[in-house]
Structure 1
Amino acid sequence: MKKGLMTLLLMIIMFPLVWHPSPAHASVNISDMIMTSLGATNAGVSIRDSETGQILYQFNGNTPRKPASTLKLLTGAATLSLLGEQYRYHTSLYIDGSISKGTLNGNVYMKGSGDPTLQYTQLLAFADALKNKGITKVNGNLYGDERIFSGSPLTPGIVAEDESDYYAARTSGLVLSPDNDFDAGTMIVRVAGEKVGQKPSVSFIPSTMGMTIITNAKTVSSKSMNTITVSRKYRTSEVIISGNIPAGKWTQQWVTVNDPTINTVYALKEAMKTQGMTFVETSAIDRGEIPENATFIATHESQTLKEMFPVFMKLSNNSMADIFVKTLGAEVHGVGDTQTGINVLRDFGQTIGLDMSNWTFEDGSGISHNNKVSPNDLTALLYHVRDMEAYHTYYQALPVGGNKERLTGGSLRDRYTNASTKLRVVAKTGALTGVNTLAGYVKAKSGKTYIFSIMTENRSAPAIDEIDTVVSHLINKY
């Protein structure tokens, strides 16, 4: 074989390992810098031209790795595209029986559609609606109708030791969020130190929600360390508060509820009590279908998907991801479980041009260590989503590097903060034990925008700084 032809063939073979953004930079080899920062194994990089979709550089680009929360890039795209930016969830209130002298001789029903933004204020509004019907006492039960969703309230990848934490919350068709972060299926526990040697005061947002609270904590000297932990005993409704809280100090932690549907109905009952309503001693809380002869009382309409999407993407909300997946299953195939929703995600990816045979995943949040996708597949996704109608909403919902505003910078607000990199990275972060990922768009100093994905795993320490070194190199050199 002629020497010139051999050289040409070698150049073609080596192309994926060398960065060639333009003739002016053809001599710059990004591989050395990546090898130094990320190492030769347990890392993958893909960089595409944002206009043509051509892969400009790849390092282990076709090797599947754990995406962590960068999997939300697929979940978000499918949710916006298939449900629409103006999609809203609805929660409705019904009663049956009759009202006599202020007493409802019947039951109260609350029907959910999976709204991840439902909050206690809406339950107070429901209580007001019942009062406006002249109801001051309930001689009956309270039921939650969660039938829109089915199957396990947990995705397969959630392990026992994580189940108490906010990022591993159970989801249902009737679930409550404690605040505007929309961590559905959780409650906030506030612990305040008062008199040294005594138990601290404890309060709850939105309420106790029917949970059993066990306080083993105590108040210590104001100069002592705060060692408070709040956890839920595995597969129970017991919330255990342990540790020490300094006098005059307070702290708050999120903890998951055990049964979102039942806990939400408990919160409705507490809201009704707040509005002055009473209940007979035999009044119970349970699941139940709404009878055909039930009387409609009120409904609550959620924010639109467009309005809630920044919280989902910028704060990397796992509860919302799980709910969106089940919603897709319910809306597209009439089956609101995780697996049906996953099938919808696969079909969506196929329709926009992705090779979904390269994707392995069992949830939509990225929490499972069994999820796998390659860097090249993530950048392909980010290239193809530019054609979807809701792309502007999708892009605007991604974290912006170096922007300190919490709902703009999101999970990147404390990264890329120096003058040379600030506001140039718009991307989704991902993190699991031993895993750090980042995928999105970066605007280089040349003015050109690149699509990138960097994935690391099997690390003994976080690789955030190493990932940021690579991205900063792209910004400053190209």
Structure 2
Amino acid sequence: MDKGLSEESVKGIQRAVDEIFGQEHVTVTLRDRGTGQVVYDFRGQHLMRPASNMKLVSGAAALAILGESYQLKTEIYVDGPVENGVLKGDLIIKGGGDPTLNEDVFVKFASKVKEYGVTAIQGSLIGDDTLFPGETLPPGVDEEGETYCWGARVSAISMSPDADYDASSIIVKAEPGEIGEQPSFQVIPHLCGHEITNKAVTVAAGEENTLEVLRTNDTNQIVISGNLPQGESAKAWVSLQNPTINTLQFMKHIFKEQGIAFNGTSAIAQGIVPESAELIHTHLSPTVAEIFPAFMKFSNNSIADIFVKLIGHEENGVADYESGLKSVRAYLNQLQIPAEEWQFIDGSGLSHSDRLTSEGISALLFKLQEEPYFKTFFDSLPVAGKPDRWIGGTLRERFTESEYENRIFAKTGYIWEVFCLSGYLIGDSGKEYIFSILVEGYEDGIPYIDRGLAEMLRYL
């Protein structure tokens, strides 16, 4: 089975797999990073749910198909004459899926509108989000997950509250008050048309923090509930009820702050750019390469699905999952990755219907080393134990002991009872390997993966 490891090493790794994971819950593949040779394999061709290890696939495809320099486009149109600074018609925003739109960008939009000579808008603020057709809720999101940023709707017009680019979400921060009183709260960057009901209570220091911030599905109602102890705080990312409309509501707020008035009857609505409209500004996002660290370090679901949809648009003319994933599969075939039986539902791995293999993932990670975009890909992987979140990402609190420093560069993955870790490592011998570990059936699989990988390192 193996010429790269001693018989003793193979037996040691197998013992770790048997004793730590159990034979029915895991698939493991180890490759020599230099040669690509499989040095250990346990159920490597067994189809497993990849969780966010799916982002290794969708991310690599985005770098290859869209390209590192690709930028997402947002356009501003006017439809109507401008007389004495008044636009006697509609202002239209045509979305291109940019997940990085934020307050600073909207201030810039306002300045471009004013440069065109508009200081008041008599018509409506229209959002054309038709680039992404169909249902906005990702296929893997259940009723409980819809309120969270990782389950946010994917729209061609959205916004992010900070540089993590959690598209289609806002942040609610809560601070305790006097015991028995409601905590105070702050919304970043803006309520965007939502309403908050505060049912939470401040309790004494040392009591359990049970504070929750949840949006009721299919509504703009956000409820803060539970107990917040004195001396603590809480921070929650909440998904937007309708990303297009909510983003336009925030944009309208910024426009007003920047001195652009709206008629009292001006509406916010979804629509299509008419042929009569005039393009006055095109905004370009950061490049895919610049977005990539936030995507991989923080395992950003929205960006994964946006990438897949844009791949579909660029390759097949339709920005949906089916078209995008068709091209992702073609990309894997081009790299000769054994992915014939793989199942794709989304780009993020949030769906429990996705299926990959550890053998195929490790083969992809090997092949990527020869691609011109590999440095961008590798540098965006979380580095185990590094406390700086822009380096350690989702691995910053794992493998924190000094013996593991700068030795594990990998993508995490989690959905209910599924835990994954795949990437590159340096064994105790100093030799470099590629690994993929997919685990199912544990309520908390992280300790199993970390113990198992730590034990494997001893034999590598």
- TM-score interval, smaller chain: over 0.9
Cα-to-partner distance string for 1:275-303 (whole Å, 9 max, x where unaligned):
23332221111112222332333232211
Q: Can you list the C-alpha shifts for 1:422-469, whole angstroms capped at 9, x where unaligned?
A: 21111111111111111111111323211111111011x322222222
Residue 63 of structure 2 aligns to which amino acid in structure 1? L
User: How far off is 1:191 after superposition?
Assistant: 2.5
Q: Is structure 2 residue 373 aligned with structure 1 residue 390?
A: yes
8 Å Cα contact 2:170-2:189 kept in structure 1: yes
Q: Kindly provide the CA deviation profile for residues 54-111 of structure 1, in whole angstroms up to 9, marking residues without a partner as x.
A: 2211112111111111111100110000111111112121212122333221111111
Residue in 1 aligned with 2:125? 142
* Deviation at residue 304 of structure 1 after TM alignment: 0.9
**For structure 1, which runs of at least 5 residues remain unmatched after alignment?**
1-14
Does structure 2 retain, via aligned residues, the 8 Å contact 1:354–1:380?
yes
Identity %: 39
The 1:200/1:29 distance shift into structure 2, 3 A limit, reads closer
Aligned-pair CA distance for 1:340: 1.2
Helix, strand or coil: the match of 1:73?
A: helix
1:470 corresponds, among 413, 437, 452, to: 452
Distance 2:397 2:178 in 1: 37
Q: 1:277 aligns with which of 230, 242, 260?
A: 260
Residue matched to 2:68: 85
| Structure 1 residue identity aligned to 2:119 | T
Q: Report the 3-state secondary structure (helix = DSSP H, G, I; strand = E; otherwise coil) of the residue aligned with 1:159.
A: coil
* Offset of residue 221 of structure 1: 4.9
Gaps of 5+ in 2: none
More displaced stretch, 33-42 vs 311-320: 33-42
CA deviation map 1:160-217 (0-9, x unaligned): 1111111111011111011111000111112233455544433322211112322323
Structure 2 residue aligned with 1:368: 351
Superimposed CA distance per residue, residues 14-41 of structure 1 (whole angstroms, 9 cap, x where no aligned partner): x3xxx65345856754211221111121
Q: Tell me how many residue pairs correspond in the alignment.
A: 460
Aligned match for 1:108, one of 91, 101, 113:
91
Alignment partner of 1:39 out of 9, 15, 22 = 22
Q: Rg: which structure is higher?
A: 1
Aligned to 1:381: 364
Among residues 158, 161, 174, which one is paired with 2:157 in the alignment? 174
Corresponding position: 1:54 with 2:32: no
Give 1:227 deviation, angstroms. 2.8
- 1:395-422 Cα deviation digits (max 9, x unpaired): 1111111222211111111222223222
Using the size of structure 2 for normalisation, the TM-score is 0.95
Specify whether residues 250 and 36 from structure 1 end up closer, same or farther in structure 2 by C-alpha distance, changes over 3 A only. Answer: closer
Q: TM-score normalised to the size of structure 1?
A: 0.91
Query: 1:119 corresponds to which letter in structure 2?
Result: N
Q: 308, 312, 325: which is aligned to 1:342?
A: 325
1:254 to 212, 237, 245: 237
Query: Which segment drifts farther, 263-272 or 287-296?
Result: 287-296
Aligned-residue CA RMSD in angstroms? 2.0
> What residue is the counterpart of 1:229 in the other structure?
212
CA distance in 2, matches of 1:94, 1:164: 32
Mapped partners of 1:360, 1:204: distance in 2: 39
* Mapped contact 1:421–1:475 kept (Cα < 8 A): no
| 1:331 equivalent in structure 2 | 314
User: Which deviates more from structure 2 when the two are superposed, residues 270-279 or residues 27-36?
Assistant: 27-36
Residue number among 158, 177, 195 corresponding to 1:212 in the alignment: 195
Q: Distance in 1 between matches of 2:211 and 2:363?
A: 45
- What is the DSSP-based 3-state SS (H/G/I as helix, E as strand, rest coil) of the residue aligned with 1:46? strand
- Tell me, in whole angstroms, the C-alpha distance in 1 between the residues paired with 2:399 and 2:205: 37
